[in-house]
A and B are shown apart, each in its own frame.
Chain A
């Protein structure tokens, strides 16, 4: 890829740098605070910050780095020593930043209306306004929703990104062996593409090493999930859950620091279980109700909602879609088995692509399994406005819950934009539902 003109490069890194600094401040703050929970937070921020810094260093030094999506089998480019960022990460990491509403309005002014997924229109806004680092090459994924291929097509269309080669894996709609093998071939082709555009080679022993370390991460994650089954649940919305997904496959993969984080997480959870503690330490607080939040967390206004739910109502989020654990480990005995199992992990196991791609079976399976495994009292489908396949699965989900005799609530909201359904309205809906079912 030709070298970027300085003004384009600088502008593209501006926002990313602000966010890096913001995480740095948070890390400093977390390090100053006493207690195991802060220690865990600091460990996580340290991992995240390192990933951001690697991208910035590569961009400044004109070294190759990847713009990835999620479920792109990051084990592959990790073993090629390539830093990466996710094109989708910007809206998630900056969801509660003061500028996010301005950015949403900016997207609307461009004609990306409010009926389109905010998680997709925000990155489009960032790409079109040169507010995202421009990678050496880009990896896309054509599911879990219609927004994904459209986002990638805008990226190919944008004048600053037109020289960025992009390869997008095509996940089939089915999940059988034929589908896994097809997806494995997509990943193989993707590896060749990365090598061609970055000059980095994939060494098999390095890949084996990364996969083995990533297996270790997944194994400790599984161990941790056992802790969350406990009643009362030792952790609520703040710890574990979606962080496990972020730390196992979004910002880093097969990282010894992730293993250490998970081990610490287990230790903290076990200490709480031993002490008979639930998710909160508040005097007189009791776990009254256990919920399965079957989607992404409402990151745009999470601090206005989740603490209220947990501390005031005693409602504990025992699991969510991204904390869900259905993973199988990678058999590292041959190149064939590695690609096969990476394909399975990224096509069938990882959240969102697991549920939203393919028929509604996985929605039903995951709901019913979580109800059983975590002794869930009710299921909440937040109904993010972007999840249109899920919106068309609402009746099926409700019936899956009815079969298990567990109440189901569909809210209807925007995970990023609290103007879509106000936080008060969401609280009101949730509280009325919980009281109506005698759950609090």
Chain B
């Protein structure tokens, strides 16, 4: 990916985002550290950190086809888990010691079942589990997830022999809160008329945060923010765009939008603002309760959380206003029912009660294909805004 950013920190981030393995993970492993892969941002990374793991958010980066995974998944499955599974069947996750899944969506939750049967041996993971995340966000659901997190804590402690104390969890919460605050600070820079970082570059920076030791990431992110403060901004764009959607870890997709003149200035994505807009409550005396509350209730939700559509819509509206957005692109991986229906409602709300904010639903596959079609649709969308 071409970039104007000179910062050395950004180069590190680009390396981490552009492949599964990177030099920071390698250094961690060389020091005897262990890595735990996890699916979906609702897995409490803080517990993995307290158990001594480096948490790694699962991606299929580098995958070119799904030939091996096709024996286990079908063409009507989202291409994200299919590519991740393909990488797993090729043994690309040998750097993992553990895999923590959650019943995120119908496609991703089956990774666990297929992994324990067909990919575990190939990659040599020694611990796998699937957490039961509620689909509502009431107090009973917080209690349920509280127990789930404690079970994970117990099982990981048994597995690793590490005592996972409250203090260690609190420390991990503090570190992750610092990380989140910095990511938010990075996003704040994008409110400028000429943001010093593009949407594609911001995605690189966020993805990198899920693939290296947190303290090292914090150090690099601070450096990047400092470097960007006086950097030349991006101008000459046709419109300021917000992205809304699910799993998107490929900056190339945003690049295509930006090449057409739509500068992506903010988002409500899974590798994006929803990860860090809110912090875990450090004042709560029981850190596990704080985590349960955070992952079930406090953080901006995704469509799998039933009953929270008005809040999601409000979150989108607030960000669109704060970042002075001209139009919203609803990105979706094909075969995703969650985001198809969510975008359907968003489009309606923006039209009926949103001051006619333009909205484009733009489907894609995990590995970018049909770039021409994406370009044409984005061009046409930008033209409607110019009118």
Q: Please list the residues of chain A having a beta carbon within 8 angstroms of any beta carbon in chain B.
A: 110-113, 115-117, 120, 124, 140, 142-143, 145-147, 149-154, 156-157, 168, 170, 172-174, 178-179, 182, 185-186, 189, 356, 359-360, 383, 385-386, 388-389, 391-396, 399, 410, 412
Contact = CB atoms under 8 A, between A and B. Distances in A.
20 contacts: A111-B343, A112-B340, A115-B340, A146-B337, A147-B341, A149-B304, A150-B303, A150-B340, A151-B341, A170-B136, A173-B103, A388-B77, A391-B77, A392-B111, A393-B110, A395-B71, A396-B72, A396-B114, A396-B117, A412-B75
A174 B76 contact: no
A182 B140 contact: yes
A150 B361 contact: no
Contact of A142 (B114, B136, B338): B136
A156 to B, nearest CB: 7
Given A172-B134, A396-B117, A410-B74, A146 B306 contact: no
A182 B139 CA distance: 12
Q: Please classify how large the interface on chain B is, using the bins under 10, 10 to 19, 20 to 34, 35 or more.
A: 35 or more
Contacts of A143: 135
A120 B344 CA distance: 14
Interface of B: 71-78, 81, 103, 105-107, 109-114, 117-118, 130-136, 140-141, 144, 147, 303-304, 306-307, 309, 334-338, 340-345, 347-348, 361
A20 B303 CA distance: 35
A407 to B, nearest CB: 16
Nearest to B81: A392
B107 A111 contact: no
Question: Ordered nearest first, which 4 A-B pairs have the shortest CB separation?
Answer: A395-B72, A392-B110, A173-B132, A391-B74
A384 to B, nearest CB: 9
B72 A394 contact: yes
Nearest to B76: A391
A366 to B, nearest CB: 15
A403 to B, nearest CB: 12
- Which among B72, B304, B335, B340 has the highest number of chain A CB atoms within 10 Å? B340
Contacts, number: 142
A368 to B, nearest CB: 15
Nearest to B105: A146
Given A392-B73, A395-B72, A150 B337 contact: yes
Given A359-B112, A359-B130, A396-B113, A388 B107 contact: yes
A151 to B, nearest CB: 8
Contacts of A142: 135-136, 306
Contacts of A168: 136, 306-307
Given A116-B340, A150-B341, A360-B113, 11 more contacts: A116-B341, A172-B134, A173-B131, A173-B132, A186-B140, A356-B106, A388-B77, A389-B106, A392-B77, A393-B113, A395-B73
B335 A115 contact: yes
A157 B348 CA distance: 10
Contacts of A156: 307, 309
A115 B334 contact: yes
Contacts of A153: 303, 306-307, 309, 341, 345
A111 B130 CA distance: 33
Contacts of A189: 140
A192 to B, nearest CB: 13
A323 to B, nearest CB: 24
B135 A170 contact: yes
A392 B306 contact: no
Contacts of B76: 115, 383, 385, 388, 391, 412
B153 to A, nearest CB: 16
A145 B106 contact: yes
A161 to B, nearest CB: 13
Contacts of A115: 76, 334-335, 340
Contacts of A399: 117
Nearest to A357: B103
Contacts of B338: 146, 150
A156 B341 CA distance: 13
A111 B344 CA distance: 7
A383 B76 CA distance: 9
- Which among B71, B72, B140, B347 has the highest number of chain A CB atoms within 10 Å? B72
A392 B342 CA distance: 23
Nearest to B117: A396
A172 B132 contact: yes
Contacts of A117: 337
Contacts of B103: 173
Nearest to A143: B135
A383 B74 contact: yes
B124 to A, nearest CB: 20
B87 to A, nearest CB: 16
Contacts of A178: 147
Contacts of B342: 150
Contacts of B118: 395
Contacts of B78: 388
A149 B109 contact: no
A410 B134 CA distance: 31
Contacts of B337: 116-117, 120, 145-147, 150, 386, 388
Contacts of A174: 132
A147 B77 CA distance: 14
Nearest to B345: A157
- Which among A117, A172, A186 has the highest number of chain B CB atoms within 10 Å? A172
A110 B144 contact: no
Contacts of A173: 103, 109, 130-133
Contacts of B109: 173, 389
Contacts of B141: 170
Nearest to A174: B132
A146 B335 contact: no
B361 A111 contact: yes
A120 B336 CA distance: 13
A169 to B, nearest CB: 9
B181 to A, nearest CB: 31
A117 to B, nearest CB: 6
A275 to B, nearest CB: 43
Contacts of A389: 106-107, 109-110
Contacts of B74: 383, 391-392, 394, 410, 412
Contact of A388 (B147, B303, B307, B335): B335
Contact of B340 (A113, A152, A392, A394): A113
B347 to A, nearest CB: 7
Given A117-B337, A389-B107, A396-B117, A146 B73 contact: no
A182 B144 CA distance: 8
A351 to B, nearest CB: 17
Contacts of A391: 73-74, 76-77
